[in-house]
Chains A and B, each alone.
Chain A
Amino acid sequence: MTRPVVTIDGNEAAANVAHRLSEVISIYPITPASPMGELADAWSNIGQPNVWGTVPTVIEMQSEAGAAGAVHGALQAGALTTTFTASQGLLLMLPNMFKIAGELTAAVIHVAARTVATHALSIFGDHGDVMAARTTGFALLASCSPQEAHDLAAVAHAATLRARIPFVHFFDGFRTSHEVAKIELLTDDDLIALVDAEAIGAHRLRAMDPEHPVLRGTAQNPDVFFQAREGANSYYDATPGHVLAAMEALEALVGRRYRLFDYTGHPEAERVLVLMGSGAGAAVEAVEALVADGEKVGLITVRLYRPFHTPSFLTALPESVRTVAVLDRTKEPGATGEPLFQDIVVALADAAAAGRGMPRIIGGRYGLSSKEFTPAMAKAVLDEAASATPRPRFTVGINDDVTGLSLPVDESFHPRMPGVTGALFYGLGSDGTVGANKNTVKIIGENTPLHAQGYFVYDSKKSGGSTVSHLRFSPNSIQSSYLVSDATFVGCHQFDLLERMEVLDRAADGATLLLNSPHSTDEVWEHIPVEVQQQIIDKRLRLFVVDATQVAIEAGLGRRVNTVLQTCFFALSDVLPIDRAIEEIKASIAKTYGKRGEVVLERNYRAVDTALAALHEVTVPAAVSGTARMRPPVPAAAPAFVQSVTAEIIAGRGDLLPVSALPADGTFPTATSQWEKRSIALEIPIWDPSICIDCGRCALVCPHAAIRIKYVDPAVVEGAPDWVLTANTKGKDFPDKRLIVQVAPDDCTGCSVCVDICPARSKEEVKHKSINMEPKEEHLAAERQRFDYFLGLPEIDRRDVDMATLKGSQALQPLFEFSLACSGCGETPYLKLLSQLFGDRLMVANATGCSSIYGGNLPTTPWAVDSNGRGPTWSNSLFEDNAEFGLGMRLAIDVRREAAGAALRSLGGILGDELVSGLTGADQTTEAGLTDQRARVAAARERLEADGSPEALATLPMLDSLIRKSIWIVGGDGWAYDIGFGGLDHVLAAGRDVNMLVLDTEVYSNTGGQASKATPRAAVAKFASGGKSTGKKDLGMIAMAYGNVYVAQIAMGANMTQTVKAFAEAEAFPGPSLIIAYSPCIAHGFDLSEQMSHQKDATASGYWELYRFDPRMAQAEEHPFKLDSRPSSLSFAEFARKEARFAMLAGANPDHADELMKAAQEDIDERRRYYEQLAGLERGLPGEEVTA
């Protein structure tokens, strides 16, 4: 039978089977498993059935805990049920997993295995999550590649029904979940043949049904619980047999052979590696190469880890083995060894007790958080195993210079892979390189006999991020589960990358280098950094250039150079005859872009057709020349830690940092983004002081803090160089100052939100504003000079500023700067404002999501410090617990302040009563009060140090707690409306003085735009691709129901003054505050440069009302609810048609869109009516908390 051959990634490979073998699919987004849920939702949305002809019901839940609960319920009611998750998500499922397994219920959870957050969050792959689930009673089945993720998904679904033991089927996050590979699909007939129909019937008969009622989920006492629990043993004993039977059935159907433990290597191996997951690919290559060299080594790949079937393991392990080296992709601190290691030890100890020879067993860790695992590392482990005195516990792949556990690795060991072509492509996220390479893998995989593999490395920057595509093609199956290290083709799709990345360190001798170059063949050499020139010469590379950007622009594709460079790759690589390649490229363009319209196809075709005429070979000179050099990753002025650690990470050399270089507890300095001068903008805003009206808007809206304002005394700039630009101030805020508006030219992303909002226009030419986007290169030198000068100017005295005003707020130094958020991000202006208003006493509890990534993803952080070294202190706990996390901070601060007060009062003799009284009771609600308090703390410190008594010295660490802190709990709508809502609600009810800021993008932005309960009716989003049919949850009204919570709904672009006021009021309110801030996002589907105008329209249409609910007004017997937005002057349809999230549905399904739009307008009208009534209501405060 011929089966479809496709090139898909591991996620799709697994989801393909899961969707076809399930009836209920409960989902929640989490990297790297989200695509499985997205695909399942999309397939069901278009009516794609399972193998039994029904369309699986897919439901998004509020969290993984909720997803697991729904899975449990669906199973209890007899449906074939699955879910997808990873990492923290799997951990949230644990309670239900114990239940599901305890009740002997057939189910499969597909896991893209990911690191569990410890000292840091990591989205990348290891087995920390599945190992945390190993006590649940779920079977654990591991896949090593996309083909295996497909095949073993089917094995899991088949085996669970027979075994009645639920399965976690897992594969490595990113390395397998996101690797694109050529695989053969199982047909529906294959799946039906694998899955036992009788077992399905039995599953249904066990379901809850009033026709034959049962009681399940009892509470049991000490008399019977233990025995009942042991009753499950026989099911676990039988499970390996069911898995083996399914594997054998699969082999009979398709010929691919899997066993519980698969052995590769010398039949009389003396040293054997044991591991599971994708690392097996690299290990197989190492073992095969070493065996070919005559070494007696082998590898056992573990597939069924739980239940661990010792007899099968012992059968797979050659009797000849003298040393077993077990590799775990996880860390269990404090254990005698990692989990797999321990299981192997026990298995062999049992065997030894039964008479089998006991080999030496060593165990080590590798590959945490997707750390590379190469054949050289596998060899290093086998070499260690050959030592007379091997390290019993070790690590491989890092340099552990602290505990000395790491093994030395011979990096020159590269097993020869005959026929394999490796290719590398360096690009920017925005240029389409990855998309084109995925298509290339598909073209080659699906149109030639060659096997193809694509793996893509992205950085964590949401704007200007680079990508590296690792492609392999081979006549044989590709097992290489590691990055391409000897590429015969290197494409550098952005010329600038040569200056800042190691582009050629993985190029093989004699490789072809294709450069997207704005420079001609005659001139290009001089523009290539000398370091790169030397590599080109040393490696004898052939050099080709194409001005792909120009070709793309002429074809109407802007800077999307992907199809141009893809065509050049095929022309130079000889993988396919060029005519055939062009035909296939066009076919793939038609497939990828066909739905979008004819003109899109025509432009891409034009780019393909004109690409080769622009491709030229450059004769490589014999010697380097010119003055171009690679850029240092950070300026020389950066502090020591930034130089020694941050810079190495920026430069892409983080893998080489030793253990000692990194903080063991995950604590890093702030104020580091200022050193990462990315200079990614092509155009930057240039200030024209002659027409500036001193409104402050440009600085307020700048998402990247790259537009700064200072008001300085005229004397300060008197005699300044003539290139320093200043303007007269306007209005009464700063009458005696000079105004300076300055761009940070290397930190600006070129989003142009500032230009869009600037209201000052030239009288001579309307398009000329006071801020104008102009080509960066023309202004870079001058603006760098101005920015340096600007930084040297004094900051304004915070006591002189009315912070609750737009201009006042923008006179303050931002302590959130140059984030790596998307260009034009709608969230970051609020955070910047927050940092300006309260930054020097700000504590941030940040929910996981976009804001935790651009706020805290290495290498740098935008949270900054002022000239006194004060600034926001920031931490991220989890996604789901952020409100509680922030509340805990409040409790600690209050307790510490109390304790400090008590301690100080006992030291009145040293400090004096007046100082103690001031320290413990002075007003700190104003900047002047705060300044005075800091002076008191300094005085107290001085006196206590001078005193030197033990009591005095013990009090010193308590002093800073006497300065009033501002605690902000920050997160997105996914946190506030969904996964963290329970905690948020509780913290609101707790009545403590915390401030919650919800950056409401109305979708899960960080994971790619999945619907949340904040998603409005009529919008399309992932998990709601047919348009969300229900309305948005009114979080503000829920909070207001408590009565004693300050609540504001704001939209900066709609009303800047209201925004600033809301922050000031919320912070001043001595109880819980909630600000819901409208935050445009890429997922809204429009050009974010216009985000402020969209916010204005959102409010003008009534879609996003502005209000403030201040309980203090109730105390004053006034109306606590103030509706700040006017009645709508725009219809919802007029607003919505400008955003693709609404407009796309009108294109795809106009009738349904019309229905939803009508309902959405009704939502808006009704809400307005309700709010207007609320605005007229008087309300008293609920009773104060009564304490004993």
Chain B
Amino acid sequence: MTPRLETTYLGMALRNPLVVSASPIGKDVDRLVRMEEAGAGACVLPSLFEEQIEHDSLQVNAVLELGAESYPEALSYLPEMVAYNTGPERYLELIGRARQALSIPVIASLNGSSPGGWTSYAAQLQDAGAHALELNVYFLATDIDETSEAVERRYLDIVSAVSSAVTIPLAVKVGPYFSSLANMARRLVEAGADGLVLFNRFYQPDIDLERLEVVPNVVLSTSTELRLPLRWIAILKGRVEASLAATTGVHDHFDVVKLLLAGADVTMMASVLLRHGSGRLREIRDGLTEWLDLHEYESVEQMKGSMSQAGVPDPESFERANYMETLASYVIR
């Protein structure tokens, strides 16, 4: 019997745990359709960035004000447009088109770093038809006067604000950099998160050695990066009342299997699909089916979390001991 791939994520029944992660893929609905045809269980649209919306608004305002009402022959220098669409309009339209074209759940993604007016966009994303919302809290605590408590409070306030603005399920995507991630995970769930997406990959700047300038550097992930989400999903599985999504470093069906074993409800992919296209998604789905079959699993649900921290005989292997043991093994060798 063919193993069943269905899973539940954020209360939604998905046909399999393979989710297209928030990435440029989602800007093009035709590509999403191809992903669905290749077997995607759900898709997350690219993020609507709070920072981008604010930046665009301020830029439009600045260029329209530049030189305006200063000189009698030219009271302005650019034409007034009917609309500037600095807000979420185009994104809302994308949700609508994706919903129309796809039968799998469409998860909208909202990316921000401060509580404020932008949380109202969450309601608009819901109204535009998103099945669920992924809130990507993208924040680097660089202020030396801001305490970790304050940073955590900022996260919780955002989650709470967005949670109260929508009725659709809410997933929260965070980075791994908390003093007490487990505690933070619990509090995020208490603040309203229905699921946790682990982990955000922060943009890491680079230096151009010729121009001596800091430059953006987008590097696609590799399989080795899945160790971090793997560990934390394993630790959190069963300990927080929330769905768990693994993202970062999912490149083949073995990665998917590992994460499901650790306790992920879904696994999210972007880099591999950007590199290889929808065909790879089909291969991963088929590989997953084959692996489950070969290892005599009946279903994804059966295996999910079977190797979480609570499910393994040596739970400390997911903790610091793991590192020490590794060192020890080298010593022994």
Residues of A bordering B, CB below 8 Å: 31-32, 34-35, 38, 42, 46, 123, 174, 178, 428-430, 432-435, 438, 456, 458, 460-462, 465, 467, 560, 593, 595-600, 602, 761, 766, 822, 853, 1005-1009, 1020-1022, 1024-1025, 1081-1083, 1085-1086, 1140-1141, 1144-1145, 1147-1148, 1150
Contacts and interface: CB of A to CB of B under 8 A. Distances in A.
Interface of B: 53-54, 56-61, 63-87, 90, 117-118, 212
A187 to B, nearest CB: 24
Given A597-B57, A597-B61, A1082-B66, A1007 B79 contact: no
A596 B84 contact: yes
B80 A1147 contact: no
A542 B265 CA distance: 71
Contacts of A46: 82
Which 5 A-B residue pairs are closest in the complex by CB-CB distance? A429-B70, A597-B57, A1008-B74, A1025-B79, A434-B69
Contact of A1140 (B53, B54, B59, B75): B59
B84 A1021 contact: no
B71 A1148 contact: no
Nearest to A1150: B90
A834 B84 CA distance: 40
Given A598-B87, A599-B53, A1147-B84, A42 B69 contact: no
Contact of B69 (A174, A467, A1085): A467
Nearest to A1020: B79
Contacts of A462: 67, 70-71
A604 to B, nearest CB: 9
Nearest to A47: B82
Given A602-B117, A766-B212, A123 B73 contact: yes
Contacts of A32: 72-73
Given A1007-B74, A1025-B79, 6 more contacts: A430-B70, A460-B72, A465-B70, A822-B67, A1085-B66, A1144-B78
Given A596-B84, A598-B87, A1148-B81, A432 B74 contact: no
A972 to B, nearest CB: 13
A435 B68 contact: yes
B71 A1147 contact: no
Contacts of A1086: 63
B70 A595 contact: no
A35 B76 CA distance: 10
Contacts of A430: 67, 70
Contacts of A178: 72
B58 A600 contact: yes
Nearest to A436: B69
Contacts of B72: 31-32, 123, 174, 178, 458, 460
Contacts of A433: 69
Nearest to A430: B70
A596 B64 contact: yes
B85 A1147 contact: yes
A596 B61 contact: yes
B111 to A, nearest CB: 15
Contacts of B64: 596
B291 to A, nearest CB: 42
A1007 B67 CA distance: 12
State the main secondary structure of chain A at its contact with B.
mixed
A925 B70 CA distance: 44
B53 A595 contact: no
29 contacts: A31-B72, A31-B73, A32-B73, A34-B73, A35-B75, A429-B69, A429-B70, A461-B71, A462-B70, A595-B83, A597-B53, A597-B56, A597-B57, A598-B57, A598-B118, A599-B57, A600-B61, A761-B212, A1006-B73, A1008-B74, A1008-B76, A1085-B77, A1140-B63, A1144-B60, A1147-B56, A1147-B81, A1147-B84, A1148-B83, A1150-B90
A465 to B, nearest CB: 5
A642 B304 CA distance: 88
A851 B81 CA distance: 28
A149 B57 CA distance: 36
A1035 B288 CA distance: 63
Contact of B57 (A174, A596, A853, A1150): A596
B73 A599 contact: no
Contact of B60 (A434, A456, A597): A597
Given A467-B70, A1150-B90, A1009 B78 contact: yes
A46 B68 CA distance: 23
B57 to A, nearest CB: 3
Q: Which of B53, B71, B80, B117 has the most CB of A within 10 A?
A: B71
A1086 B77 CA distance: 11
A685 B22 CA distance: 44
B30 to A, nearest CB: 14
Nearest to A1144: B81
A170 to B, nearest CB: 19
Contacts of B86: 596-597, 1147
A1023 to B, nearest CB: 8
Contacts of B71: 429, 458, 460-462, 465
Nearest to B120: A598
Contacts of A1009: 74, 76-79
Nearest to B86: A597
A605 to B, nearest CB: 11
B84 A1008 contact: no
A34 to B, nearest CB: 8
Contacts of A597: 53-54, 56-58, 60-61, 84, 86-87
A460 B73 CA distance: 9
Given A597-B56, A599-B57, A1140-B63, A1025 B81 contact: yes
B42 to A, nearest CB: 26
A1140 B59 CA distance: 8
Given A462-B70, A597-B60, A1148 B77 contact: no
B85 A599 contact: no
B240 to A, nearest CB: 33
B69 A1020 contact: no
Contacts of B59: 1140
A853 B70 CA distance: 14
A434 B59 CA distance: 21
A1147 B63 CA distance: 14
Nearest to A1023: B79
Nearest to A437: B69
Q: Which of A46, A1020, A1083 has the most CB of B within 10 A?
A: A1083
Nearest to A9: B75
Nearest to A1145: B81
Contacts of A1022: 78-79
A467 B69 CA distance: 9
B117 to A, nearest CB: 5
Contacts of A465: 70-71
B153 to A, nearest CB: 22
B80 A42 contact: yes
A1042 B59 CA distance: 44
Nearest to A761: B212
A598 B117 contact: yes
Given A595-B81, A597-B87, A1006 B60 contact: no
A1081 B71 CA distance: 15
B60 A1083 contact: no
Q: Which of A429, A430, A599 has the most CB of B within 10 A?
A: A599
A595 to B, nearest CB: 5
Contacts of A31: 72-73
Contacts of A467: 69-70
Q: Which of A46, A430, A598 has the most CB of B within 10 A?
A: A598
Contacts of B83: 595, 1147-1148
A1147 B60 contact: yes
Given A596-B60, A1147-B83, A1147-B84, A1007 B70 contact: no
Contacts of A35: 75
Nearest to B80: A42
B73 A595 contact: no
Given A599-B117, A1007-B74, A1082 B61 contact: no
A1083 B77 contact: yes
